[in-house]
Amino acid sequence: MSTGPGIPRQGILSLSIKDKGALYQAYMPFLKGGGIFVPTQKRYGIGDEVFILLSLMEEK
């Protein structure tokens, strides 16, 4: 994976949301259509290809 100037990065991020409180904290309603915040140590920019493995709380 090359990360030079102008070269899009690729990555895989994983997030497990285990309860309703965590879901509310990660939810971003100000984005058109809503969104989920996925914390990471890496820096990504617009146009970077990122795959997200998302596990939501189990239904009771």
What pTM was computed for the model? 0.66
Calculate the CA 41 to chain-centre distance: 12
The structural domains of the chain, ordered by start, are 10-55 (2.40.10.220)
Q: What is the pLDDT along the chain (60 residues), one digit of tens a residue?
A: 455 666 667 889 999 999 999 999 999 999 999 999 999 999 888 889 999 999 998 766
Q: Do residues 22 and 60 touch, judged by C-beta distance below 8 A? A: no
Do 48 and 10 contact (CB within 8 A), yes or no?
Answer: yes
Smallest CA-to-CA distance from 11 within 58, 48, 57 is with 48
